[in-house]
Amino acid sequence: MDFDTQGLEAYETNADLESKVGVWLVLSREPKRRIRVLREGGSNHKFDRVLQELSKPYRFEIQQRTMSPEKQRELMIEAYARAIVVDWEGFTAEGQAVACTPTTVKALFAGHPNIFDRVQSFAQEMSTFAQTLVDDAVEALGNSSNGSANTTRSQAS
C-alpha cells in the first residue's frame, strides 16, 4: 500500500545526517563550544552494533533487569563516545585544545554528566536530523552570497 504522505514531511529524516555527517549541538556561544552528533537510532546502525557489543557481557543482568543504573550509564557513555559524538570545537584543558576522541569524550561526559544528558537528548530527537534541515541548508546555500550553508542546531542555554 502506498500512503499519501503529504503534510508528513516533518517525519522524514536525512540518513547522512543521522549516520555520517551529524548535526552540531551548540552548548555555548562565548566561548564557542559545540559537539557534532549522529543520531541514536535511525540510520546510525553503528550505534546499535556498538551498544550490542558493549552489552554482551551483561546479557543476563539486562534480561533480569538487575543491572545498576550506574553501569547502564557507563555503557551508554561508552557507546556515545564510540558511535555518536564525531567532532567538537572549543574544548580545552590547561589552555590547549583537546582532540575529540572516544577517551576524551568519555572524560568530558564523566566529569560533566549534564552535558552527556543534553547530548543524549539531542541525539535521540528525530527532528534534529529532519530532512527539512537539509532542504533549508540547500536553500540557504542557493541564496547566500558566500556560498556556505551549515547544519547547526543552536541549543545553547
User: Helix-strand-coil percent breakdown of the chain, rounded to 5?
Assistant: 55, 20, 30
Q: pLDDT at position 86, please?
A: 97
C-alpha span between 74 and 40 (Å, rounded):
16
Neighbour-count burial for 44-82, b at 16+ CB within 10 Å, e otherwise: beebeebbeebbeeeeeeeeeeebeeeeebbbbbbbbbb
C-alpha span between 104 and 146 (Å, rounded):
34
Q: pLDDT at position 103, please?
A: 98
Q: pLDDT at position 146, please?
A: 45
- pLDDT tens, residue by residue, 81-97: 999 999 999 999 999 99
Number of H helices and E strands in the chain, helices first, is 7, 6
Low-confidence ranges of the chain (pLDDT < 50): 145-149, 156-157
Give how far the C-alpha of residue 147 lies from the chain's centroid of Cα atoms, to the nearest Å.
26
Domain ranges of the chain: 30-124
Indicate the pTM of the whole model: 0.82
